[in-house]
Chain A
Amino acid sequence: MREYYDLQLNELNNQIIEMGSLVEKSVAYSTKALVECEIEKLEKLPKYEKAVNKKEKEIEGLCVNLIMHNQPVAKDLRFISAALKMVTDIERIGDLAEDIAEIAKLVAAADYKVKADSFSKIANTAVKMVNLGIDAFVARDLELAQKVAEMDNIVDQLFIEVREKLVSGLKTGEFPSEPALDLFLAVKYYERIGDHAVNIAEWVAYSLTGKIENYDDFGIDD
């Protein structure tokens, strides 16, 4: 019964996974470029970005069609509305990955290497949050979604640490000012990526529980 509908829902699921995987790669490559100066990794990025934007529109179209043709209710409605909200966050992460890639190029041109531990930590934690957010969606895993929300605290803390390091490096003259400012932007982008990953996790939680939750509901201090 409702075979075609189920096929379309399955298609929506697969499209989200594909889009998520494209964005995961974008973030991973731009982070490699930034943290390890692997600039050659960035060649593929425009292709991914284009594919992500295309996928976003396809998914939105699919969601609208599913709503129009099937008037979904219950878990179907939650799944489709969560998908419709999530794609915006996934797409924004893709944009931020592109911005980070631009900074990676600038920083590499300035022959400035990122050595601060906490910098690679914030980048890797944010990337991990994106991976887990998508994984939580794929596996319909509420615990994983909650873990993503918890990890955001680490990212927020690391953001403060990196900022302090950059400020003190600037004061002492250890860091040249221009790349330091670029890097500050990059950490802010990672902090934003963390927030988008939390949004994804919250929509995963909504699709599973029917409750629209935020940080506080996860039992985490804001």
Chain B
Amino acid sequence: MDKFTIKNMNLYYGKFHALKDVNLSMQENKITAFIGPSGCGKSTLLKSLNRMNDLVEGCKITGDIRLDNEDIYGNMDVNILRKRVGMVFQKANPFPMSVYDNIAYGPRTHGIRKKSELDEIVESSLRDAAIWDELKDRLKKSALGLSGGQQQRLCIARALAVKPEVLLMDEATSALDPISTGKIEELCLKLKDQYTIIMVTHNMQQALRIADYTAFFLLGEMIEYDKTDQIFSNPKEKKTEEYITGRFG
């Protein structure tokens, strides 16, 4: 089933036409990867999916982006949208507070105050992010003291704490060592049973390892979108072939 549907979408930063007539449907409980050279628009598209671009001055979007067939640029409350569509960034950005408070932050802003309920959310989120065993004895310690890989998994746990439906990941492992990267990739494969994951990655091997579908972008256009195995074994478009084989871009 399609979770996100994008139709005839164009995005402008002032006069710059950053995304050109994008049409794309992303399936529920699948991992979709966006690949392409720097500046191709893949992160811009990702940010459009939970309206992070609203904060960018001069950003104008036309066309249609639907979450469960509901127009996210229509009447949808942006806070509700961002609760349903969580995001993890390239650089881990834990809040300067304890591990516990990092996870409880989102649920608290959505009105959950009961300690037992928050305890449960903190534990289940950390478990889902495969970091509970490492942090269960350090819940009151500052999140800033964690390693880079732990901080990133903490951020994933924080995103999961508000029970989103979709998880957007913007190069979420690019600053991590291979072991931490491997843990997050494993985590994504585990999480896709419950969530829809959409990721931007520069690591094509990562897309190959975990993404069910891959979209290739170039200069603001979506050149090709297909099953990942198809894209990487026998792409239809010459530009895709040239990019993924490293002969271009």
Contact = CB atoms under 8 A, between A and B. Distances in A.
Contacts of A209: 234
A1 B235 contact: no
A150 interface: no
Query: Per DSSP, are chain A's interface residues mostly helix, strand or loop, or mixed?
Result: helix
Contacts, number: 37
Contact of B232 (A1, A6, A70, A74): A74
Interface string B141-170: 000000000000000000000000000000
B205 interface: yes
Interface stretch (B77-85, B193-201, B238-246): B238-246
A72 B245 contact: yes
Interface string B214-249: 000000000000000000111100001100111110
A32 interface: no
Nearest to B208: A73
Contacts of B247: 1-2, 6
Given A210-B233, A210-B234, A74 B244 contact: yes
Contacts of A1: 246-248
B204 interface: yes
Interface string B125-151: 000000000000000000000000000
Interface string A1-20: 11001100000000000000
Contacts of B234: 74-75, 78, 209-210
A73 B248 contact: no
A77 interface: yes
B246 A2 contact: yes
A71 interface: yes
Given A71-B204, A74-B234, A76-B245, 16 more contacts: A1-B248, A2-B245, A70-B246, A73-B204, A73-B232, A73-B233, A73-B244, A74-B233, A74-B235, A74-B241, A74-B244, A74-B245, A75-B241, A77-B233, A78-B233, A209-B234
8 shortest A-B CB distances, which residue pairs? A210-B234, A73-B232, A2-B246, A73-B244, A74-B241, A76-B245, A74-B245, A210-B233
29 contacts: A1-B246, A1-B247, A1-B248, A2-B246, A5-B246, A6-B247, A71-B204, A72-B245, A73-B204, A73-B232, A73-B244, A73-B245, A74-B232, A74-B234, A74-B235, A74-B240, A74-B241, A74-B244, A74-B245, A75-B234, A75-B241, A75-B245, A76-B245, A77-B233, A78-B233, A78-B234, A209-B234, A210-B233, A210-B234
